[in-house]
Amino acid sequence: MLLIAAFKLGQALLFVAVGVTALRLVHQDLPYFLARLAHHLRFGPESRFVDFILERASLVNDKLLRRIGFSLFAYAALGITEGIGLYLEKAWGEYMTLGITASFLPWEFFEAFRRATPMRLGLLVVNIMVFLYLLKVLVERGKQTAK
């Protein structure tokens, strides 16, 4: 349970960092920022991936960046709540994590089988394992309270 809590809290910190970055990019030249980032990460300037990202970046405006930032903060708040609930071994944290994990599984199945990559398949396997583990814990706890 502690490992899942640490994962949820780490994930929440990542979402906060990306949310802060999105808000810091408001009123900035996003394509220029991404081109510099690609250069620092040593992506080739002729890369199709970089071209794809830079083309899409021109469609992102300040209103959308704010919406993205605040959405990431909201999702991070859920992750922090899940992580704390699991760390404190609260039943509500387990139920919350079970529900949220279950709600994303259909999308992850779709994405993993639409275009299978090691990352997508790995994420799907981890989330299935978390789901089954939490389900087992909650079922066992229900049996103990029924006695």
The residue among 134, 146, 58 whose CA lies nearest residue 89 is: 134
Q: How high does pLDDT run on average in the chain? A: 90
Cβ–Cβ contacts within 10 Å for residue 86, how many? 23
pLDDT tens, 19-75?
999 999 999 988 888 888 888 888 876 778 888 888 888 888 999 999 999 999 999
The confidence score (pLDDT) of residue 147 equals: 67
